[in-house]
Amino acid sequence: MDEDLVLGLLESVDACVHLASIVGVSLVVDRPVDTLLSNVRGCDVLLSAAAGLKKPVLFASTSEIYGKHSNGALNEDSDRILGAIQKGRWNYATSKSFGEALALGYHRELGAKNTVVRLFNTVGPRQTGVYGMVLPRFVRQAVTGQPLTVYGDGTQTRCFAHVYDTVDALMRLLEPDSAPGHVFNIGCDAEISILSLARRVIARAGSNSDVHFVAYEDAYDDGFEELGRRKPDTTALRELTGWEPQRTVDDAIDDVVRFERADLVSDAVDGNVRVAG
């Protein structure tokens, strides 16, 4: 949100991939003002500077844009069905919809080379579980012998894309001249329930952990609202760039397990944590 700094940095680059955002269900629900103002102001500073300098921007949005819409695979033209404004969860989608509208508005009015991407549950090593990201949280619990916390009954499904595949898609979208002015979903279309994910993590980590169910009302305040399903239609991305995901959810789990174990060893050496036997 430092206008002078952003402007100076943009002057020296060929293009900008705007990934910065407040993210994570817990953080979004607990800090609605920060979520709205940081995402909106930061996006405004970046996109206005880039438009003035005629620098291409790849703006990372989110599958949360679709809200409660869960009927089959979602394509970029699917209607958005957001919950009540009183529900804090939708602050994130609201802030990201502003970014999308601004990016596409600059394209229409000024010819700015802005492309919007909607990410569906990107996962991989170095991701934190602190703010609600489910896979790193599950893996950390499994490798330390703790119960894996599943909110609700675990039947809700998600599609997880390995970060390496997501990065590949992002880089491909920087190339075509026909990408700016359009929106693209990025994600894997293989669905898995959260309970199945928990069990898969336990198995692949070789853990003795159990699954512990926690009711939503005990985990979050009244600002939370769960979604049953979210699956991307990535036809537009595939047709334009030829992109296909190369890694499975098992590959992502294995990479996160390796990272978390290495991180625990590092913490133990520093005297910060005792590693479970």
How do residues 37-48 score in pLDDT, each as one tens digit? 888 999 999 999
The size of the chain, in residues, is 277
CATH of the domain at 262: 3.40.50.720
In a domain, 271, yes or no: no
In a domain, 276, yes or no: no
* Domain extent at residue 109: 3-266
pLDDT at residue 190 is higher than 50 = yes
How many domains would you assign to the chain? Answer: 1
* CA–CA separation, 17 and 189 (whole Å): 24
- The pLDDT of residue 223 is 53
The answer to whether the beta carbons of residues 76 and 183 sit under 8 Å apart is yes
In a domain, 114, yes or no: yes
* CA–CA separation, 18 and 173 (whole Å): 13
- The pLDDT of residue 60 is 97
* CA–CA separation, 233 and 187 (whole Å): 8
H or E element, residue 191 = strand 191-193
* Residues whose CB falls within 8 Å of the CB of residue 54, separated by 6 or more in sequence, listed in order: 112, 113
In a domain, 80, yes or no: yes
Cα–Cα nearest to 185, from 76, 30, 273: 76
- The pLDDT of residue 277 is 36
How do residues 48-63 score in pLDDT, each as one tens digit? 999 999 999 999 999 9
Please tell me which residue in 92, 106, 151, 220 is annotated as part of the active site: 92
- The pLDDT of residue 82 is 84
In a domain, 135, yes or no: yes
In a domain, 156, yes or no: yes
Kindly provide the residue ranges of all beta strands, DSSP E only, lying in 72-162, ordered along the sequence: 73-74, 114-119, 122-123, 148-151, 157-159, 161-162
Chain center to CA of 28: 13
pLDDT at residue 275 is higher than 70 = no
In a domain, 121, yes or no: yes
In a domain, 273, yes or no: no
Average pLDDT over residues 98-120: 97
The answer to whether the beta carbons of residues 249 and 158 sit under 8 Å apart is no
Is 106 marked active-site?
Answer: no
How do residues 251-264 score in pLDDT, each as one tens digit? 999 999 999 999 99
With cut-offs at 50, 70 and 90, classify the pLDDT of residue 135: very high
- The pLDDT of residue 276 is 44
- The pLDDT of residue 90 is 83
Average pLDDT over residues 211-221: 80
